[in-house]
A and B are shown apart, each in its own frame.
Chain A
Amino acid sequence: MNSPIKKILQFTIQHNTGVIFLVMLIVSAFASDAFFTANNLSNLIRQVAPVGIISMGMLLVILTGGIDLSVGSVVALVGVLCALFTQTLALPVAVAASLVCGILAGSISGYLVSVQKMAPFIATLALMTIARGLGFIFSKGAPVMVDESATALTDFGSGSLLGIPNPAIILLFTFVVTWVLLKYNIYGRILIAIGSNEEAVRLSGVRIWMYKFSVYAVIGGLAAIAGLIGTARTGVGSPNLGVGLELDVIAAVVIGGTNLKGGKGSAVDTFLGVLILGMIGNIMNLMDVASYAQQVIKGLIIILAVLLQRFEGK
C-alpha cells in the first residue's frame, strides 16, 4: 500500500487535536485577512479565557470519570455576588469572598459525589439550577453594577500585561499549573488512576473521596475566577451570564481527546480544544456567518474530532 499516505494518516490520528488545530489555523488565515492581526488574536484569547480556565478544571473532573454541569451557573452566581460585595466590602475582601463562594459551590458537588456517592451528572445538575436560582434571587433578576469605588477591578478586567490581556494571562497560568500537575505530580497521576479503575485504586489504599472531592472544589474555584473576570470586564454582575457555558467547556475537553469515561486526557490537547472552539467562533464572526450556522459548524467539528479519536490506538 501507499506508505507515505498511511504515515500521514497515522500521524493525523495520533495527534488529531493538534492537526485539527493547525488546519483551523491555516483555514482561518486564508479565510480572512483580519484573522492574523494582533488585535484579533488578543480578542480571541480574551474571549476564550473563561471557557479555557474552567476547561482545565473540567479536565480534572472528567479524568476521574465525573462531570460538572454547574459551572455556567456558578459563573453567574459569583459574578453577581462579586458585584454585590463591592458595594459593601473592600475590594480585596470582595474578590476573596467571591472566590470562596465558588469553591464552596464546587465543594457541595464534591461532597455529594465523593461522600454521598451521587452520580456526578445528577449532583451537578441539581447544583446548576440551585446556583442559577440563587443568582437571580441575589440580583433580584437584574444586572448588578459594580461599585464605583472598585475601579481597580474594572481596570484589571480590561487591562493587559505586555500586550497580553489579563484574562488570557490567568488562562495561561491555569493551563501551565494543570499541565505540571498531570505530568509531574502524583496528584494528577492518581486522578488518572481513579478514572481508569476506581475500585483497584481504592483497594491500593488511596483515599478516593479526597481526590474526587478536590476536583469539584477546584473547578468551583476556577468557575469563580471566570465569573470574576466576566464582572471585571463588563462592570456588572449579570444573573444571565454563562448559560450553556458548561457545554462549551465540555466540548473543548472532548475535542481535546479526553475520554468521558475517565482515565485519559491531556492538558495540552484540552488547551488546543479551547483554542479550536474559540477559532471557530472568531473566524465565522469575521466572515459574518450567522450565529445559527456557527452552531451547526461547531457541532460538526466536535463530531469530526471524536471520529478521529476513535481510530486512536488501533
Chain B
Amino acid sequence: MPGKNIENRVELRNISKAFGGVAALKDVTLKAAPGEIHALMGENGAGKSTLMKILSGALQKDGGEIFIDDEKVNIKNTYDSKELGIGIIYQEFSLVPDLTVAENVFFNQLSKGSRWMKWDKLKREAATIINNIGFDINTGVRVSSLSIAQQQIVEIAKALSEKVKVLILDEPSAVLGPTEVQKLFETLHTLKSEGVTIIYISHHLSEIFKIADRVTVLKDGISTQRLLVAETDKETIIKLMLGRSLNAMFPPRNAVVGGEVIRVEDIYVSGKVKGVSLRVRSGEVIGIAGLVGSGRTETVRGIFAADKLSGGKVFVSGKKVNFRSPADAVKQGIGMVPEDRKRQGVLLPLSIKHNVTLANFRGITGKLGFVRFGEENKKSRELIKKLAIKAVNENAPVGSLSGGNQQKVVLAKWFNRDCKVIIIDEPTRGVDVGAKIEIYNLINELAAKGAAVIVISSETAELMGICDWILVMREGKVQGTLEKDEFNEENILRYAIGAS
C-alpha cells in the first residue's frame, strides 16, 4: 500500500484472558513494526503461547484490542487471522501424523482447493519450500515416521506455504539442533528483508541476541517492558522474567563416582545405530551429543527397549540383560524421559497426579491394586512442589498446562521412581532459564544418590555444564569421547559434523 505509512504491523493492547476463573493474561501490550523480529520472553506459564493463540484466533480474548497495520481488527477464529496474513507455528505440533509431508505442508490449501490435486506437483512444490529453507526431507513419507526436528521443519514449511505478513514462531528452536537453528535464522532474515513481521518465542537467551530487534517480557500475565535488544543484556531480561537474578547456571555436583551400573556393548538399532558402546558408573552424568539424526535418540531407545536391538549386549550392574519391552527395563531400574513430549510423554486429558504416578504404582496402591488416594495426592503435591510445576492443583489436566510445565510433569514421573539408570532425552526442552537450574539440581541429586544418568541434549552448553564426559555421535556411531578438560564447542562440533 504505497503512501500509507504503517507504524505497527501488530499491536496488542491491554489483552486479558482467563481460563475458568484463573487469569492467564492480565494486561498485555505488544507492538511490532513491519520487518521487525520481535522476541517474546517469559517464564513457563507466563502466558506467551496463550497470547499468540489469541492473535491467531485459536483462543478468544476476554478483553483488550488487536490492531493489524494500525487498523483495529476482530479475530474470531483461525480463518480470520489467516485472512489478515497471520501465520503461526504452534508450540505443540499441529501436523496430521498419518498424512504425508507434502499433504501436511499444503494442508490449509488442500481443504480450499477446488481442483483435483496433482500428487507429483504437490510433492515437488513441498520439496521446493523445504529446500528453500535449507533442508532435505522426503515429502512422500508420512509425518509419523519423522523425527521431531524434521516435524518442526515441516511445520515451518507449512507456515511458509502461504503468503504471510506476520509470522509467529512459538519455541521453534526447542526441538532443533544448532545447525538447524542457524538455517532457520537465515530464513527469518530473508522474511524480515521482505517486510514480514516475526514474533519469536524462545527460552534460549542467546538466540534473542542473535536475531531479535526488540523484546517484550511477560511476567505472570503482564507485559513488563519492551526493550531494544541492542540496548539490553541477558541479566536485565532474566531479571524482568524471573523477578530475580540467577547465580551459577550450572550448579556444582558432589556425587561420588562408584562402580559400573550400565554397560552397553556394540549395539545396533534398525540401521540408525551402528555399533555403539558406552559405560556409566553410579554417580556419573554422561552426555550424548550429535546432530539431529545422528542416532542419539535411537541409541537410548534401544537401551530402554523402546525399539528392538538388532545386535549387541546390555549389562546392568554387571549382569547381562535382555529387555523385551520398556516394562522389563523399568523393572531393572532404568527410566527414560523420551524426546517427544506430546506423543511419548504425557497423557494430555488426564490429571497431573495420574501422569506423575504412572511409572510407579507401588507407593500409591494397597491390597489388590486399590488406589490409596491420600498417598497419591500427597505424592503428587510433593512432585509439583519439587519441580515447581505451575498449576491450579494436582487434578488439573496436563493439557491445560503450559509447554514447559508439561515437560516438568514428564520429568516428575521419573523422579517419582528410584531408578538406577535414568536416561533423559532433552531434559530442559521448553523449560525457562530459572527452572533449568532447578532441573540441573535435581539431576545432581539423582547422581548424588548413586544413579547413573545419561543425558541427550542439542544444547552443547548444557551438556558441557552438567556432564562428566560426553560422547559425540554421527551416523549412528560414537565418533569421539570427550573428557571434562576437552569440553568445548569446537571439539564437539568437529566430531559431530565429521570435519577434520
Contacts and interface: CB of A to CB of B under 8 A. Distances in A.
A203 B370 contact: no
B346 A197 contact: yes
A202 B371 contact: no
Given A197-B348, A263-B349, A205 B331 contact: yes
Given A193-B354, A196-B348, A263-B349, A203 B306 contact: yes
B361 interface: yes
A264 interface: yes
B345 interface: yes
Contacts of A205: 326-327, 329-331, 335, 359
B350 A192 contact: yes
Given A201-B347, A204-B413, A263-B349, A185 B370 contact: yes
Given A184-B371, A199-B343, A200-B344, A206 B358 contact: yes
B77 to A, nearest CB: 14
B325 A186 contact: no
Q: Provide the main secondary structure of the chain A interface.
A: helix
B351 to A, nearest CB: 11
A204 B369 contact: no
Contacts of B306: 202-203
B336 interface: yes
A189 interface: yes
Contacts of A311: none
Given A185-B369, A187-B369, A193-B354, A204 B359 contact: yes
B370 A204 contact: no
Nearest to B399: A196
Given A203-B336, A207-B327, A186 B361 contact: yes
B392 interface: no
Given A189-B371, A193-B350, A200 B345 contact: yes
B365 interface: yes
A185 B325 contact: no
B413 A185 contact: no
Interface string A164-196: 000000000000000000001111010011001
A53 to B, nearest CB: 22
Contacts of B344: 199-200, 203
Nearest to B413: A204
Contacts of A189: 354, 371
Given A204-B358, A204-B359, A185 B368 contact: yes
B404 interface: no
Interface in B70-88: none
A206 B358 CA distance: 8
A313 to B, nearest CB: 9
B370 A184 contact: yes
Contacts of A197: 343, 346-348
Contacts of A201: 347, 358
B347 A206 contact: no
Interface string A193-226: 1001101111111110000000000000000000
B326 A196 contact: no
A288 to B, nearest CB: 45
Interface in B346-400: 346-350, 354, 358-359, 361, 364-365, 368-371
A207 B325 contact: yes
Nearest to A263: B349
A187 B325 CA distance: 20
A196 B338 contact: no
Interface in B172-200: none
A189 B331 CA distance: 20
B359 A200 contact: no
Contacts of A202: 306, 325-327
Interface in B441-475: none
A185 B346 contact: no
A197 B331 CA distance: 21
Among A186, A200, A201, A204: residue with most chain B CB under 10 A: A204
Contacts of A186: 361, 364-365, 369-371
Interface string A243-278: 000000000000000000001100000000000000
A197 B346 CA distance: 8
Contacts of A193: 347, 350, 354, 358
A167 B58 CA distance: 51
Contacts of A207: 325, 327
Contact of B347 (A184, A185, A196): A196
A200 B325 CA distance: 13
A187 to B, nearest CB: 6
Among A184, A185, A197, A201: residue with most chain B CB under 10 A: A197
B120 to A, nearest CB: 31
Contacts of B343: 197, 199-200
A268 B347 CA distance: 23
A214 to B, nearest CB: 12
B404 to A, nearest CB: 18
Contacts of A203: 304, 306, 326, 336, 338, 344-345
Nearest to B358: A204
A263 B336 CA distance: 23
Among B306, B346, B369: residue with most chain A CB under 10 A: B369
A185 B358 contact: no
Contacts of A192: 350
A206 B327 CA distance: 5
Contacts of A200: 343-347, 358
A247 to B, nearest CB: 27
Contacts of A199: 343-344
Contacts of B370: 184-186
A189 B336 CA distance: 22
A196 B358 CA distance: 13
Nearest to A192: B350
A146 B85 CA distance: 75
Contact of A196 (B304, B325, B329, B349): B349
A98 B10 CA distance: 71
Contacts of A185: 368-371
Contacts of B364: 186
13 contacts: A184-B370, A185-B369, A186-B361, A193-B347, A196-B348, A200-B345, A200-B346, A200-B358, A203-B304, A204-B330, A205-B326, A263-B349, A263-B350
Given A193-B354, A205-B331, 8 more contacts: A187-B369, A200-B343, A201-B347, A203-B345, A204-B359, A205-B330, A205-B359, A264-B349
Question: Which 3 pairs show the lowest CB-CB distances between chains A and B?
Answer: A205-B330, A186-B369, A204-B358
